């Protein structure tokens, strides 16, 4: 068997081999069925290579659907992924937008499976959510189930009626370390963009007033790293007031979303779903800079805002996209409207990435082993499984126990 392709650049394999070995240990407890096809939606990161290799070894065919935010910036890496045995990257026209059409999703699956294939969908961001009701009927005998990695992706599956199991790992506590890692990158890279494109520093209190919308793992992480940059006046808002009770004692000002937007001009949107309403954008009386923790398509529902005329795109580059509100105020989306950590080699230098990858993979393996043990619709990976992953990870990387 050839050596796995774990890195794209010669200098970046410090954790890749250990990560690959860890994921292999998790998978070793299961024997997937023959003629298995796995559809995997994933960021096109170098840090994902160990995971892609393990999935490709589990399946007869791994159909890799790269998320557009990172695929466009990492064309050379896509070439490396294409050389992994049993791994096939989909054509560019199979993307988040086109897969909203059930017939397009059906066409992708039909071209990838044979008559006796079983297939599993490892989703990331709800790519198959719009088509799942249709797919679960058309492929009733061959679709084993779905797993979903993210909270914003899970949201898209809510209120859908489908008779296949969906196992979510979006709210596991073992995802928190990777969320804090992402938060650090988001703050750091937002600062770099402000410096390079606007000649500003993020801690320029005289010009930038910083607000954070959303007080989940990512929002709390963003606040932590903002405070590390000695930003003294941070406002935070969340629709769930319980999440705000921790902040006053830590010197962070709690606020309504309306007041925060009216007073701040550097916004970190950390909700995963619709952080800024059309009415709030219409109320803007100044230009604002916005960094999002996921694609602006989800975080701001950007296509809807453009369709309604609340935002009009006027230009920009891969670092900044500029939009105008109805009141002619400028809205600058940092990182081109994608999560502000996408330019970084996510997962490189920090093995927390392998925690949620292991959970995502394990959920799929359990579906393959006993899909009848899961009910139709949405359910979470068990606490027992989460503890097992945490203990094995601690032992593998840090000699725990």
CATH of residue 329's domain is 3.40.50.720
Q: What integer pLDDT is reported at residue 256 of this predicted model?
A: 95
Give yes or no: residues 251 and 216 share one domain.
yes
Angle of helix 16-27 relative to helix 383-398, nearest 10 degrees, comes to 140
Long-range contacts of residues 155-162, Cβ cutoff 8 Å, at least 24 apart: 155/126, 155/272, 155/273, 156/126, 156/129, 156/130, 157/126, 157/129, 157/132, 157/378, 158/378, 160/129, 160/132, 160/133, 161/133, 162/132, 162/133, 162/136, 162/376, 162/377
Residue 114: C-alpha distances to residues 35, 94, 109 (Å)? 8, 19, 9
Give yes or no: residues 153 and 202 share one domain.
no
Give yes or no: residues 107 and 235 share one domain.
no
Residue 231 lies in a domain: yes
Give yes or no: residues 193 and 330 share one domain.
yes
- Report, as an integer, the average pLDDT of 367-386: 93
Residue 9 lies in a domain: no
Q: What integer pLDDT is reported at residue 339 of this predicted model?
A: 81
Q: Identify the domain boundary among 303, 337, 371.
A: 337
- Report, as an integer, the average pLDDT of 248-258: 92
Task: Tell me which of 230 and 167 has the higher pLDDT.
Answer: 167
CB distance 331 to 283 below 8 Å: no
Q: What integer pLDDT is reported at residue 304 of this predicted model?
A: 92
Q: Identify the domain boundary among 307, 337, 367.
A: 337
Range of the domain at 186: 176-337
Give yes or no: residues 235 and 129 share one domain.
no
Full-model pTM = 0.89
Give yes or no: residues 163 and 54 share one domain.
yes
SS (HEC) of 16-70: HHHHHHHHHHHHCCCCCCCCEEEEEEECCCHHHHHHHHHHHHHCCEEEEEECHHH
Give yes or no: residues 52 and 154 share one domain.
yes
pLDDT tens digits, residue range 43-53? Answer: 888 888 999 99
Question: Which phi and psi (to 5°) does residue 223 adopt?
Answer: -60, -45
Task: Tell me which of 132 and 16 has the higher pLDDT.
Answer: 132
Residue 401 confidence class, pLDDT cut points 50, 70, 90:
confident
Which residues lie across from 116 on neighbouring strands?
none
Give yes or no: residues 394 and 291 share one domain.
no
Instruction: Find the distance separating the first CA and the last CA of the chain, reported in whole Å.
Output: 33
pLDDT tens digits, residue range 192-243? Answer: 999 999 999 999 888 999 999 999 999 999 999 999 998 988 999 999 999 9
Q: Is the model's pLDDT at 350 over the cut of 80?
A: no
Residue 63 confidence class, pLDDT cut points 50, 70, 90:
very high
Determine the Cα–Cα distance for residues 296 and 294; give it in Å rounded to an integer.
Answer: 6
Give yes or no: residues 31 and 117 share one domain.
yes
Residue 1 lies in a domain: no
Tokens for 26, please give them.
């998790």
Give yes or no: residues 223 and 253 share one domain.
yes
Q: Which of 289-303, 335-349, 361-375 has the lowest mean pLDDT?
A: 335-349
Give yes or no: residues 148 and 243 share one domain.
no
pLDDT over 70 percentage in the chain: 96
Residue 337 confidence class, pLDDT cut points 50, 70, 90:
confident
Residue 5 lies in a domain: no
Write out the H or E segment, with its range, that includes residue 85: none
**Residue 276 region by backbone torsions, left for phi larger than 0, else alpha for psi between -120 and 50, else beta:** beta
Q: Is the model's pLDDT at 296 over the cut of 60?
A: yes
Give yes or no: residues 20 and 167 share one domain.
yes
CATH of residue 49's domain is 3.40.50.1480
Residue 10 lies in a domain: no
Q: Which of 48, 37, 40 is nearest to 77 (CA)?
A: 48
- Report, as an integer, the average pLDDT of 261-288: 93
Q: Is the model's pLDDT at 283 over the cut of 90?
A: yes
Residue 2 lies in a domain: no
- Identify the DSSP state of 210: E
Q: Identify the domain boundary among 337, 366, 384.
A: 337
Residue 45 lies in a domain: yes
Number of domains in the chain: 2
Residue 4 lies in a domain: no
Average confidence score pLDDT of the chain: 91
């Amino acid at each position: 068997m050839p050596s796995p392709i774990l890195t794209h650049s010669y200098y970046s394999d410090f954790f890749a081999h250990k990560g690959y070995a860890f994921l292999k240990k998790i998978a070793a407890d299961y024997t997937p069925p023959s003629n298995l096809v796995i559809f995997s939606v994933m960021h096109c990161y170098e840090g994902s290579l160990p995971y892609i290799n393990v999935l490709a070894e589990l399946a007869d065919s791994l159909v890799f659907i790269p998320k557009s935010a990172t695929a466009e910036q990492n064309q050379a890496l896509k070439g490396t992924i294409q050389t992994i045995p049993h791994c096939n990257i989909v054509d560019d026209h199979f993307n988040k937008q086109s897969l909203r059409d059930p017939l397009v999703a059906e066409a992708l699956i039909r071209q990838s499976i044979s008559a006796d294939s079983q297939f599993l969908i490892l989703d990331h961001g709800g790519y198959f959510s719009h088509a799942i009701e249709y797919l679960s009927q058309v492929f009733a005998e061959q679709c084993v189930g779905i797993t979903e990695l993210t909270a914003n992706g899970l949201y898209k599956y809510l209120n859908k009626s489908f008779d296949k199991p969906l196992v979510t790992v979006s709210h596991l506590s073992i995802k928190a370390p990777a969320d804090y890692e992402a938060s650090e990158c988001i703050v750091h890279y937002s600062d770099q963009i402000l410096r390079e494109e606007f000649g500003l520093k993020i801690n320029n209190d005289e010009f930038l007033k910083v607000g954070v919308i959303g007080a989940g793992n990512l929002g709390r992480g963003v606040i932590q790293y903002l405070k590390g940059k000695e930003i003294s006046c941070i406002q935070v808002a969340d629709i769930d007031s319980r999440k705000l009770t921790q902040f006053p004692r830590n010197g962070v000002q709690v606020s309504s979303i309306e007041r925060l937007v009216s007073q701040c001009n550097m916004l970190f949107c950390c909700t995963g779903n619709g952080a800024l309403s059309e009415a709030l954008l219409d109320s803007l009386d100044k230009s604002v800079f916005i960094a999002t923790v996921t694609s602006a398509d989800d975080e701001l529902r950007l296509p809807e805002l453009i369709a309604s005329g609340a935002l009009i795109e006027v230009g920009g580059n891969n670092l900044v996209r500029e939009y105008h509100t109805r009141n002619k105020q400028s809205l600058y989306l940092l990182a081109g409207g994608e999560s502000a950590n996408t330019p970084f080699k996510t997962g490189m230098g920090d093995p927390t990435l392998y925690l949620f990858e292991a959970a995502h993979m394990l959920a799929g393996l359990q579906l393959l082993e006993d899909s009848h043990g899961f009910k139709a619709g949405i359910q979470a990976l068990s606490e027992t499984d989460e503890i097992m992953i945490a203990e094995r990870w601690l032992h593998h990387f840090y000699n725990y126990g």
